Amino acid sequence: MSDRKLSGEVFYPSKEVLDRTQVQCESIYQSAEKDSLSFWENEANKLHWFRKWDKVLDDSKKPFFKWFINGKTNIAYNCLDVHCETYRRNKVALVWEGENGDFRSLSYFALRRETCRFANVLRSLGVKKGDRVTIYMGRVPEIVTAMLACARIGAIHSVVYGGFSVESLHERLEDSQSKVLIVADGAYQRGKIVELKKIADEALQRAATVESVLVIKRTGHEINMEFGRDFWYHDLMSSPIAGNSCDIEIMDSEDPLYLLYTSGTTGKPKAIMHTHGGYMVGTYSTTKYVFDLSDEDRFWCAADPGWVTGHSYIVYGPLLNGATCFMYEGAPNFPNPGRWWSMIEKYGINILYAAPTAIRGFMRYGDAWVKRYNLSSLRLLGSVGEPINPEAWRWYHKVVGGERCPIMDTWWQTETGVVMISPLPCTPLKPGSGTKPFPGIQVDILDEKGMRTDDDEEGYLVIKNPWPSMLRTIWNDPERYIQQYWSRFPGMYLTGDSARRDVDGYYWIIGRVDDVIKVSGYRLGTAEIESALVSHQAVAEAAAIGLPHSVKGHAIHCYVLLKAGFEKSDKLIEELRQHVGHEVGPIAKPESIEIVDSLPKTRSGKIMRRVLKAKALGIDPGNLSTLEE
Ligand code: 7RM
């Protein structure tokens, strides 16, 4: 580390933090800089392989990169079995608190047993290596065991966020051609029940490939069970088919681990594919180094397992490290805005990893809710999902972290699998900046022509070299994988974000350059919202844009052109909002819908969302030469 003074507002690491982490931080930066492939290889060597790789990276068919060639492993084996051979066998792996006060705690031994039983149940339903299994439930321990059970038997899981609705679930079941759906009867959310099974029944009417549905009882309300198709999880788990042991499927490094759908520039959400080998190495090492995770820690990633953050940092990363993870069911402000802080005190959480939207939400309730609880167990904080505003950063640092906890502002994507730009605990911090690339990652910022931008100049954020946990392809659509990520600047991965780099080499993420909207940290595409609107009988055309929102980051605003014979009314607008909620999910419900007579379009007929956005913000729309009228 250089001793040169950094520009702007800087928070230097305390002596305590440096004593703990400096040696490790410096050594990994150095070794990755010297040779990133041997850095990753060294990390891979800390995990269990049934057979070691012949070669670390194969880039002969780029951009279809392969990692740990001919290595044989299984990520679930590394998450559970490996620890059961050590003193960690009886260590708590997962602590869980339900919204209704339920509590569960599972040791590594117990989590492995539950996973094995679950895996046997899946096998009894005919699930084999390579089959896709969709998982649709709330934040209950079974979502973790469901994912691990799939991984154990080589099935490819596709988790669909419980906040998504009929059409979103249907699309994902179809596209992945899932054989089995694992669903909960319902989920508790702010004291109410979200009827997941009912939504699933509607989605299943049109999903031809699903042979069986495994239903987990959470809320216990009356649901429809279709004879021959639907099975109660607890019935099968207590029957002889669910023995306590279950043969592990030996997986090739490059065998798919999961699909996760995410929104892109145009069209339907696409399934990002991750693998057993590389993804395991990435989640293991980033969790360890970014969060300085140690054996005594209780780690809480407050995301949802339905999003990539939950995959990598609730489930895989922490378990690979043998940590104790915490998970809760419910919402940050129910029954009151003290819920999170009460749980940190009660369960002695050491590391909290949360989204800026949650932090901004808490800020509104004032400091008192936080100060009511003893948060002295906290040692380190994390932020993810969108840029964190410096005000929110300072509040998080001061009020939540008691000025003693460094904040790791981690930039990454579903596609990258793991954190790409982030401080390590020893890094001097600047509020609002993700600081520097993780060891072994090379990023850059380019202008329209592909030239490196000057300091402080905005441009396209790209990643210049492959990394183990990178997406391998878009499921069923390798062409789109090439087109979307590797075509704009040859040989480089296009992130879709714009960013700038300051004089100290620190990165500042500005936001998406495409039609992706981040609402409360959740990624949505304008295309999905527009398709939902157009599927309503009254709508001829629709455009969706994201406008700044003080808590959500961005909120969705829509413009709608009605079909002849339909009249504009408040009732219709409300009906359209509900319709989007029903089709895509409550998170996608537009903040406002305006009925208009025309939409700004290019001569080739593309809706110019930036013109709508500029108009709504009262700013200059820029170049209008392609506008039709
Ligand atoms: C992890 C996740 C990815 C998009 C990404 C960015 C934005 C995420 C940060 C951030 C600024 C951050 N995956 N983003 N983290 N922007 N600072 N620390 O969110 O696939 O759902 O979204 O999220 O725009 O491209 S995601």
DSSP 365: T
Q: Tell me, in angstroms, the distance from the centre of ligand 1 to residue 351's CA.
A: 20
Q: What is the pLDDT of residue 3?
A: 57
Reply yes or no on whether the pLDDT at 324 is more than 90: yes
Residue 387 near ligand 1, beta carbon < 6 Å: yes
- Reported in sequence order, the residue ranges of 146-255 that DSSP labels E, i.e. its strands, are 156-159, 180-184, 187-189, 192-194, 212-216, 230-232, 251-252
State how far Cα 513 lies from the chain centre. Answer: 19
Q: Which tens digits make up the pLDDT trace of 422-476?
A: 999 999 999 999 999 999 999 999 999 999 999 999 999 999 999 999 999 999 9
Q: Which atom of ligand 1 is nearest to the CA of 516?
A: 24
Q: Tell me, in angstroms, the distance from the centre of ligand 1 to residue 389's CA.
A: 14
Q: Which atom of ligand 1 is nearest to the CA of 388?
A: 17
Q: Tell me, in angstroms, the distance from the centre of ligand 1 to residue 355's CA.
A: 10
Q: Which atom of ligand 1 is nearest to the CA of 518?
A: 23
Adjacency order of strands within the sheet including 230-232: 230-232, 212-216, 180-184, 132-136, 156-159, 256-262, 270-275, 473-474
Q: What is the dihedral of CA 88, 90, 91, 93, to 10 degrees?
A: 100
Buried (b) or exposed (e) across 532-549, using 16+ Cβ within 10 A?
bbeebebbebbbbbbbeb
Reply yes or no on whether the pLDDT at 627 is more than 80: no
Q: Which tens digits make up the pLDDT trace of 17-67?
A: 999 999 999 999 999 999 999 999 999 999 999 999 999 999 999 999 999
Residue 413 near ligand 1, beta carbon < 6 Å: yes
Residue 252 near ligand 1, beta carbon < 6 Å: no
Residues 156-185, mean pLDDT to the nearest whole number:
96
- CB distance 128 to 257 below 8 Å: no
Q: Which tens digits make up the pLDDT trace of 266-282?
A: 778 899 999 999 999 99
Closest C-alpha to ligand 1, atom 17: 387
Locate 501 and state its tokens: 């780099």
Which of the four pLDDT bands, split at 50, 70 and 90, describes residue 629? Answer: low
Q: What is the pLDDT of residue 180?
A: 98
Mutation probe of ligand 1 site: the residue of 301, 411, 421, 512 with most atoms within 8 A of C-beta:
411
Residue 308 near ligand 1, beta carbon < 6 Å: yes
Reply yes or no on whether the pLDDT at 2 is more than 70: no
d(CA 473, CA 481): 6
Q: What is the pLDDT of residue 5?
A: 87
- DSSP per residue, 560-577: EEEPTT----HHHHHHHH
Residue 523 near ligand 1, beta carbon < 6 Å: yes
Q: Tell me, in angstroms, the distance from the centre of ligand 1 to residue 310's CA.
A: 13
Buried (b) or exposed (e) across 192-223, using 16+ Cβ within 10 A?
ebbbbbbbbbebbeebeebebbbbbbbbeeeb
Q: Which atom of ligand 1 is nearest to the CA of 511?
A: 24
Residues 144-155, mean pLDDT to the nearest whole number:
98
Q: Which tens digits make up the pLDDT trace of 535-554?
A: 999 999 999 999 999 999 99
Reply yes or no on whether the pLDDT at 621 is more than 90: no
Q: Tell me, in angstroms, the distance from the centre of ligand 1 to residue 495's CA.
A: 10
Q: Which tens digits make up the pLDDT trace of 496-520?
A: 999 999 999 999 999 998 889 999 9
Closest CA to 219 of 150, 138, 155: 138
d(CA 168, CA 166): 6
Q: Which tens digits make up the pLDDT trace of 398-425?
A: 999 999 999 999 999 999 999 999 999 9
d(CA 325, CA 347): 10
Residue 417 near ligand 1, beta carbon < 6 Å: no
Buried (b) or exposed (e) across 328-337, using 16+ Cβ within 10 A?
bbbbbbeeeb
Please name the residue that has the structure tokens 């100290």: 504
Mutation probe of ligand 1 site: the residue of 260, 386, 415, 462 with most atoms within 8 A of C-beta:
386
DSSP 221: -
Which of the four pLDDT bands, split at 50, 70 and 90, describes residue 483? Answer: very high
Q: Which tens digits make up the pLDDT trace of 583-620?
A: 999 999 999 999 999 999 888 778 889 899 999 999 88
Handedness of CA 530, 614, 514, 467 (dihedral sign): negative
Handedness of CA 374, 375, 376, 377 (dihedral sign): positive
Q: Which tens digits make up the pLDDT trace of 567-578?
A: 999 999 999 999
366: left (phi over 0), alpha (psi -120 to 50) or beta: left
Please name the residue that has the structure tokens 């979307």: 484
